[in-house]
Structure 1
Amino acid sequence: MTGPATVRRARPADLPRVVELAAEHAAYERAAAPVPDLAQRLHALLFDTPAPRLRCLVAESPDGEIVGYATCAPELSTWQGAAYLHMDCLFVRSGTRGSGIGALLMDAVAAEAQDLGITEIQWQTPAWNEGAVRFYDRLGAKAKEKLRYSLTTPCPPSG
């Protein structure tokens, strides 16, 4: 990659590439692959509503290739009685890491928070991901040690 990357909000045409990156991200984090209809689900969350809850930012190389993405959504903290921006994903593909793209994506997520009037961003990363931990530490972020749980619930009856 030559020249600086740019970060912008995702467009519908970007979703196939975002899905590819999400699959790379899941494999990197040793997680289950994304759902088969992820592009359609993301489209609904990002573009099929006047006030989308999810925001997706993409990092684009000078040649137009999308090489990273970040997603975030406002959430509420009971203990603070205030909103925070939850960054669900930040991923930069192998071969482009270390070129400043992660920092550009973080700046864009911070700008989203500022646009929403939110003063805190929260996220998580696997403890074994030492590169990400070093990156976030360099940003001045503070880690909070917690375990993340997931519980699948049955779908409500349709009709």
Structure 2
Amino acid sequence: MKEVYIRHATLDDLEALLLFEQGVIAAERPYDPTLREDPISYYNLPELLANPRAVVLVAEQHHQIVGSGYARIQPAKAYHKHLEYAYLGFMYVEPGSRGQGINGLLMEAFKQWTAAQGLTELRLEVYAHNERAVRAYEKAGFAAHMLEMRLSI
């Protein structure tokens, strides 16, 4: 594997991050019939980059951004044992860089960030039928917890 560096994203990375956001949407579109037609956006990236309770990380290889993700501190439900947890989103690795362990490096960095915030729980959402993503998250130590179901009327 070529050397990969994980670092905090900056506003200078916004152009690449916006392209990655569209990559995430394109990858998820086959699993979600409720998504509107393009153009759509999931994230307010400048706001996320400025949020002191969040971190946006990028994976860089040969001075090119090849992966991304964020973790954001969120309040837990009143009935949970913990008060807050870190929520992961925007996990993306460019198609040409997949299979090199980049997602795993990002996950390890998010685990370290979460622990450094004094949090004990990391959560994410993944489409149940996105088996490739589910396997990647299981490989990083995640386990299925709750399945959200829907019914179109």
Q: Same fold by TM (over 0.5)?
A: yes
Q: Paired residues, what number?
A: 141
> Any conservation in 2 of the 1:68–1:91 contact (CA below 8 Å)?
yes
Match in the other structure for 1:153: none
Q: CA deviation at 1:148?
A: 7.0
**1:7-26 CA distances to partner (integer Å, 9 max, x unpaired)?**
10001100110110010111
Q: CA deviation at 1:146?
A: 2.2
1:1-150 alignment to 2 at 5 Å? 3-30=2-29, 31-32=35-36, 33-35=39-41, 41-47=44-50, 52-61=52-61, 63-77=62-76, 78=78, 79-147=80-148
Query: Compared with structure 1, are the counterparts of its residues 136 and 44 closer, same or farther at alpha carbon in structure 2 (3 Å cutoff)?
Result: closer
Please give the root-mean-square deviation of Cα atoms over the aligned residues, in Å.
2.1
Normalising by the residue count of structure 2, what TM-score does the alignment of the two structures yield? 0.82
User: Which stretches in structure 2 are left out of the alignment for 5+ residues?
Assistant: 30-34
> Any conservation in 2 of the 1:46–1:53 contact (CA below 8 Å)?
no
CA distance in 1, matches of 2:84, 2:137: 21
SS of equivalent to 1:29: helix
Query: Compared with structure 1, are the counterparts of its residues 65 and 75 closer, same or farther at alpha carbon in structure 2 (3 Å cutoff)?
Result: same
CA distance in 2, matches of 1:136, 1:87: 11
CA distance in 2, matches of 1:15, 1:64: 15
**1:129-156 CA distances to partner (integer Å, 9 max, x unpaired)?**
111111122223211132178xxxxxxx
**1:89-143 CA distances to partner (integer Å, 9 max, x unpaired)?**
2111112111010000001111110121111100011112111111122223211
CA distance in 2, matches of 1:88, 1:148: 20
